[in-house]
Every structure is written in structure tokens, then in C-alpha cells.
A and B are shown apart, each in its own frame.
Chain A
Amino acid sequence: IIRLLFSKTYKLQERSDLTLKEKEELIEEWQPEPLVPPVPKDHPALNYNIVSGPPTHIITVNGKECINFASFNFLGLLNNEKVKSAAQASLKKYGVGTCGPRGFYGTFDVHLELEERLAKFMRTEEAIIYSYGFATIASAIPAYSKRGDIVFVDEAACFAIQKGLQASRSNIKLFKHNDMADLERLLKEQETEDQKNPRKARVTRRFIVVEGLYMNTGDICPLPELIKLKYKYKVRIFLEESLSFGVLGEHGRGITEHFGINIDDIDLISANMENSLASIGGFCCGRSFIIDHQRLSGQGYCFSASLPPLLAAAAIEALNIMEDNPDIFQTLRAKCERIHKALQGISGLKVVGESFSPALHLQLEESCGSRENDVKLLKRVVDYCMNSGIALTQARYLEKEEKSLPPPSIRVVITVEQTEQELDKAASLLKEAAQSVLN
């Protein structure tokens, strides 16, 4: 017996030691990859368009003056004099930066005021502000959903949501875009799993993450059916309203007003202020029970400097304008319908998006074969339009990182400031461009 014990230890020792000389040789020989691979000079995303001057209704791109159909300035508040003067007043009072995170002398009275105004506008109990739109949803999801929880996400969710899910390390189940039957199937499967293991089911939280108006496809989610599913299967809903805040609904409160749903039925609404409110940053709103948790555990809130006060003041003034003029939403919707009709029937390009969505995509009806060639073709269409005075852009994605990559497309953005002649001009120009380039 003693011999057996001794022989075992001898075997272990022999296995893993390398001599010092061998180690040094290995260190000499190892060659790492270069830090970054070289990028070809004509990569479409490398050469940015340079915009000189403010990115407002008339925009100077690469030296040419064009009408802006590419910035998400839906309510035209980027150049509004009242917003600018409110921001100037704040600049005179507070300077530019806040020099600290919210916990350490970075909370200004403008932040508190903006949070109160947003909560009152959306008719929820509380709101919380982040200083960067991307970080809003990417910090909100990991604050609630941890390892072991289950999240049901739409396939066409935007990149910020995908990063939030990745940071949360939860189990992610994708369902087909806007397909409630597919979602119900997944929920039923989850239910049968739960019945096998009820103890675990009692502690795993379940969430559905959807967007109000999808950035990648331009259509809206069927919220009433989602609410029914929520109560039937006991899942919580997180709604991302970056594009629909300030666009849908009678007063611009987003998709809940559009469908007439009680806002307390949605657990968390997150939106960024960079589209309709023409400021920078993002916010989440909901009941205090849910929002208060983010004040200690939202990473982008606790570990990052707060929003510069001039941008918060600009957002407050923009909210004032939205509340005082509720008819701009109707005007915006009318313009969207008009251009949606005008863009139908272009040979070679199809319109993707709802008729009242202010951010449409134009995709190629038939692909050329490879994504690269599609991108090049669309670039020629965009260049043709830019040379004739309409500024457009292609929708940019990170090809390797997206979970479900949308096909290449041109993004068309409709704002309240565009006149009807300009809309018609844009539509006819696109028809011409498509004719000349694609045929």
C-alpha cells in the first residue's frame, strides 16, 4: 500500500515541469498578432462625411449645401432659438462640465428638475437620467437581469440592447421579429421547463425586451398582445422608445399613448434624448420601485460623470415646446405618410417601414450577390442624391458584431422642418438616382 501511495506522487511531479531554459525559449519564440489588423483605404466606413456648420435643415456636407434627410432631428428642435437661449443661460450659470459623478457633487438642480419634468410628462412616478444615449439601455438591463435569468428579445433589437444583454450574462432567447406566435411558443416551452424544476423557477426572473419603433426595420411592436402575454406568463416588459418618444401618440408620449395602454403596465421605459429632444443623453422612467434600484446599480449612472447642465437645460426647454405645441406630432405624421406614398414604386428599391414612421429604410429589391457590392451600389445612389442637393446616408452597422445583420439600406429621415416641395423633390430625385444607377 505504501508503495502505491509513493508511486502516485512520483508520477504527478514528472508531468508538468519545464526547465527554465525551455521557458525562455518559448518566450523568445512567441509572436503576437498585431494590435489591430490593417484597414483597407477604401473601406466604406472609414472616410466620414465632414459637416461644416450646424447639422440642421440645410446642411453643408463635404462642401455642398444640401437638404438634410439624414439627421434624427424629428421635431426640428436642433436650431430652435428658445432651446439655444435656455442652454446659453445655463452655460452662464454653471459652466460646461459637471466635474463629477452623480454621487459626488455632480447632481445639479437642473438634473433634478429634468427628472421631475420627464416623469410628469410620461405620467410615471420617477425618471432617471444618463449622460449618454447608448449607455442608457446598456446599463439598465444588467441592473435587473443577472446570470441565470431569462430574457426574450426581438431579433431586430438595436445594438445597444444587444450589448446590455451581453453585459447581463442572462439566458437570451430570440424570437422572430414582431412574431407573437413565435414568442408564445418560446414562453410555453419555458413554462414546461419550469414545471420540471419549480424551485429554480421561483427565483429566475423573466423579461421581454422590445422597442417601440424599431431602428433597423422602421415598424412598431404589437404592444397590446404583449401586455396580454405578460399577464398570462408572468414576464416583465422593458420597452425601448428611442425613436418613438416624441413621435407617436397624440402628445408625443410614445407607443403607450399610441395604443392607449396604461403606462404602469410597462415595467420600464427607456429612451434617449438624442432624437426628438435634440439634446444628448438618455432617460429611464417607470415606477419608483423599479427606477430607484438603478441609482445604486446602474453602471453608467454611478460610475460616470453626470450630464452637462446646458444639455439638461436644452432638454427641459425642448420638453416645454413639445408640451405647448401638441400639433407638431400630427404634422410630422402627415409628412411621413406623404413621403411614404411618394417613394412607393421606385424601380429597384423597396421601402421598409410603417407609413407613419419618420425613419425609413430603402433596401435593394434584388441583391447583387455580395453585401460589399450592395453597399457600393447604394453608395452610388447616395452620391448622386448628394450631388443634387439632398443629403442622405447609408445605415451603418458593425457587420461582425450584430446578431442578426439587416441588409444594407439607405436611411431616410423625415423632420417637421421639411416642406412639401422638398419632400416631393427628394422622392423624385431618388427615383432618378435609382433609374440611372440600378438600370
Chain B
Amino acid sequence: MLVAVLTYVGYGVLTLFGYLRDFMRQWKIEKCQNATEREEQKDFVPLYQDFENFYNRNLYMRIRDSWNRPICSVPGAKVDMMERVSHDYNWTFTYTGRVIKDIINMGSYNYLGFAQKTGACQEAAAKVLSQYGAGVCSTRQEMGNLDKHEELEKLVARFLGVESAMAYGMGFATNSMNIPALVGKGCLILSDELNHASLVLGARLSGATIRIFKHNNMQSLEKLLKDAIVHGQPRTRRPWKKILILVEGIYSMEGSIVRLPEVIALKKKYKSYLYLDEAHSIGALGPSGRGVVEYFGLNPEDVDVMMGTFTKSFGAAGGYIGGKKELIDYLRTYSHSAAYATSMSPPVVEQIITSVKCIMGEDGTTVGRARVQQLAENTRYFRRRLKEMGFIIYGNEDSLLLSLLMVPLKLITAFGREMLKRNIGVVVVGFPATPIIESRARFCLSAAHTKEMLDTVSVSSCLPSAHAC
């Protein structure tokens, strides 16, 4: 309680300082260092409101060096980072040209360790690159549908246990372009409080009515469903055409896993449709890596639309949607991305094909299975260690995204910088992405991390937090 009050006071002081500096800048007592409008266009309507940029100028600029850190090697378990310094309090950065080597990487989404520069996946991708080239230059419906894409889609459908699947070039775009194709005006979308920006954008673009239920709270969801069916559309009282529930497998900021059995029971009782976004959970949960559906032991046909991305566990880029054949046929015809956006690049497709085959065990080795098990072990071990040290960790027991709660504002920046001094790279998140008194540091585990690395990280995280407190 005391800490929360102190945090608010801290923000208040910073805001006052911000106003003071703006005042000084306006009166030219302090030098104005950010970019300004052109001379010829000074009498145009200003492009940014003053207040929008207030946070940016005064708070964000001071702590900007914790984000956008450039790296120059494979984003594996250890990574090389380019050193950068700032002589004017983070307004500009200069690269010294030196490289900080072998930083333990707890920030990249490299869950199964497929971000490698050697190995079967990389060789296959190299072969396809020399044969097909890097780009495609056409859309799926016109001339961009390569045989590689067809192969990928059949493989993904088999992996997930659904009838058929379709792949897209960007995970964010998969959500924002296919939700509008599935629902429209007169439909209802029930979305979780902490859904990702792509789901929110897709829901808004579709034109349907959106209602939000509390995070992972089944009573809130049931109440909304009941009210929706009984009362119908808000003013006309007509019945809704469809109801779509949007949930994620693992929520990236909290680390919590969705309560899938209960959601499916509710969905069946109230005859609605379920859209599951497995961006972080595919390849990472479940004994053979098939995601949150396998983790709970449920039937993949119960989920109407299974969506996921290839960026995290498979070390490539892009997204997919899997489901019944009618659904995928409809998306092939009416999805915005199939008609207007370029198809996926062939080497990336090959990387996905090889990594999926590896996870399924079809390439003849047990490497895939071993990695999934290693990841689960790493998760359990690391969580136990951090709990023993007395930190507050958010998230489910088995989820591989750990959020360490750090309340005071300056703690997150100090933590980030101290960890970097000890050659460990973590992700810290603050105000706009999380509630104001709940800033956190986030650890992303990977099957490529060894026990020694995890030990180093947990020991080192004690010291900076003690330091900064």
C-alpha cells in the first residue's frame, strides 16, 4: 500500500518537472532538442497535440535506453549487442562500434531454440533461398501461390489436428485482416480485457459490437453471454447474428493461461464461436508442443478458429489460421490478406516446414520432443528458484513467460541497466502497456537455456533489486 502511494507521488513529481521543463523550453531557457516542424509549414494545424507528446518528451526520453537495443547476431540463448552511448541524456545515441558479446538473452521469443545459424532448418532454408529467391511479388489469389505454400498449409493442418489451415505473412495482420472477414455488423464480439493490440484492431475494423469481460473470469463471461442472448442488440432488440469469443492461449504481459475447458463448456452451452490466438502457446505448451488445446487434453475440433504465429516457437515469421474446411475455403476467397497482400517468402516457409517436422518427430530424430521437454523443465526450475528468492511472480505455474512485479518506477530502469552490466538482457515494461502501479520485468524462457544460465540469471536478479531498493 505504501509502495503504491509512493509510486503515485513519484509520477506526480515527474509530471511537475515535466511542466517546468516545457515552460523553460518555451521561453528558450533550455535548449529544445526534439525535431520540429518545417519553417514553411509553421502555420499549418499542428500535427501532434502538446499533451500527447508530454509523456514522450519528459518521461520516456529519460529511460529510453532500455528499449530498442540493437543486436548483431542470432537471437539465440546468447546474443551480441551493439554498444551505444548517449551524451545528451538519451536524446541521441551514438554507436561506439564495440560489440558486447555473449549476453544471456531473456528477452527474445525463442521458445524452442529454433533461432540458429546452423542446423537442418537453416540448411533447408538456404537451399530454398537459392532456388526460389527471397520475395514473391504477387498476392495469393493472383500469381503468388507457390507449391511451398500448399505444402506448408497441409503440414500445419496435420500438426494442429484440424481439417485444413491457411498461412499468412504477418501474425499481426492475420488477426487484423481475418476477424473482419468472419464477423461484421450485427454480430457480437466478447473479448478478454488483456487481449493483444492485433485482436483489438481486428475487432474494431470488423464493425461488430465489442464487449469486454474481465481477464480469465468465467462468471463475467457467462453473464455477458446471457445478457447478450436474452436482450439482443442494444436498441433494436433484434437477436445477434453470431457471437465470437476472442481469447489468447498465453497472455504475454501476465503470463497467465486461458481457462480453456470452462470457455469451451460455456461456448457449447450458449452456441457461440471461439477464436483462440495461440501466438505464444503453440509449440510451447503440451507434451508434444501442440499448444494449449493439448495441454488441457481437449479436442481441437471444439475450437472453431485456431490462430497462431510462426514468429515465436518456430523461429520464422508469419501467422496461420486452422479450422474446418468450410472456414478455410471461405477465408481463401474473402480474406483481405489473400486478395491484396503479398504471400510469404519461400525461405521463411521452408524454415517453418523443417521446424514443424522436427517438433512432430517426422525428420527421424527426437530433437523436437527433447526441446519441448527441456522447455517445460526450464520453466519449472526457474519459477521455483525465483519464488525461493522471494519475488512476486505473475502467471500460471507452467507458463513460460514470467513477469516479475516491480512497483517503483525507477526500479525498472535501474534493473534493466544493472542486468545489462552483468551481461544479461531482460525486458522491462512500464506505464502504457501495464497499469500504472504494476510495472514489471519479463523473462522469456527458451529450450536453449542451460541450467547454469538460469542460475546466473536468478542470482543476478537478486543483486540489482537489492541495490536499487
Contacts and interface: CB of A to CB of B under 8 A. Distances in A.
Query: A and B bound?
Result: yes
Interface of A: 18, 23, 26-27, 30-33, 35-39, 43, 45-46, 48-56, 59, 61, 68, 70-73, 78-79, 83-84, 87-88, 91-100, 102-109, 111-112, 131-135, 138, 144, 158-160, 163, 166-167, 201-206, 231, 234-236, 264, 272, 274-275, 277-280, 287-290, 292-293, 295-296, 299-300, 302-305, 307-308, 310-311, 314, 391, 393-398, 400-401, 411
25 contacts: A27-B270, A32-B273, A36-B326, A36-B331, A39-B333, A51-B143, A51-B144, A53-B147, A59-B143, A71-B137, A73-B137, A83-B134, A88-B126, A96-B122, A100-B109, A104-B67, A104-B107, A132-B169, A159-B336, A202-B45, A236-B44, A274-B135, A289-B36, A300-B172, A305-B309
A371 to B, nearest CB: 15
Given A87-B134, A95-B117, A396-B339, A310 B108 contact: no
Interface residues of B, number: 120
B108 A163 contact: no
Nearest to B225: A27
Contacts of A201: 45
Contacts of B110: 99
Interface string B272-309: 11000000000000000000000000000000110001
A396 B242 CA distance: 28
Interface string B426-465: 0100000000000000000000000000000000000000
A117 to B, nearest CB: 16
Nearest to B107: A105
* CB-CB nearest 9 A-B residue pairs: A132-B170, A304-B172, A36-B330, A289-B35, A48-B145, A134-B341, A314-B134, A70-B143, A99-B108
Contacts of A51: 143-147
Contacts of A158: 340
B345 interface: yes
A382 to B, nearest CB: 11
Contact of B201 (A45, A235, A299, A310): A299
B38 to A, nearest CB: 7
Given A32-B272, A109-B70, A311-B134, A95 B122 contact: yes
A117 B272 CA distance: 50
Contacts of A289: 35-38, 47
Given A45-B333, A84-B133, A133-B341, 14 more contacts: A35-B273, A83-B134, A96-B315, A97-B75, A97-B311, A104-B108, A105-B427, A106-B108, A107-B68, A107-B70, A203-B49, A279-B134, A304-B171, A398-B339
Contact of A39 (B173, B204, B316, B329): B329
B71 A397 contact: no
A159 B45 CA distance: 28
Interface in B7-57: 34-38, 40-41, 43-49, 56
A277 B135 CA distance: 9
B125 interface: yes
A1 B316 CA distance: 74
B125 A96 contact: yes
Contact of B317 (A105, A131, A288): A131
B204 A167 contact: yes
A70 B312 CA distance: 33
A31 B271 contact: yes
B88 interface: no
A235 B144 CA distance: 38
Given A27-B230, A71-B136, A95 B172 contact: no
A94 B35 contact: no
Contacts of A96: 115, 121-122, 125, 315-317, 347-348, 351
Contacts, number: 351
A274 to B, nearest CB: 4
B142 A396 contact: yes
B74 interface: yes
A88 B129 CA distance: 7
B12 to A, nearest CB: 23
Contacts of A135: 170, 172-173
Nearest to A303: B197
Contact of A84 (B35, B49, B105, B134): B134
B327 A308 contact: no
B140 A97 contact: no
B47 to A, nearest CB: 6
A308 B226 contact: no
Contact of A32 (B36, B129, B242, B310): B242
A280 B143 contact: no
Given A35-B273, A108-B71, A203-B45, A72 B196 contact: no
Contacts of A398: 334, 336, 339-340
Contacts of B169: 132, 280
A307 to B, nearest CB: 8
B355 to A, nearest CB: 9
B137 A88 contact: no
A162 to B, nearest CB: 10
Nearest to B328: A36
B209 interface: no
Contacts of B132: 53-55
Nearest to A142: B201
Nearest to B132: A54
Please indicate which of the listed interface residues A134, A395, A396 has the most CB atoms of chain B within 10 Å of its own CB: A134
Contact of A160 (B230, B273, B305, B340): B340
B198 interface: yes
Nearest to A125: B35
Interface string B139-181: 1111111110010000000000000000001111100110000
Nearest to A290: B47
Contacts of A133: 341-342
B230 A23 contact: yes
B356 to A, nearest CB: 13
Contacts of A73: 137
Given A35-B327, A71-B138, A96-B347, A48 B229 contact: no
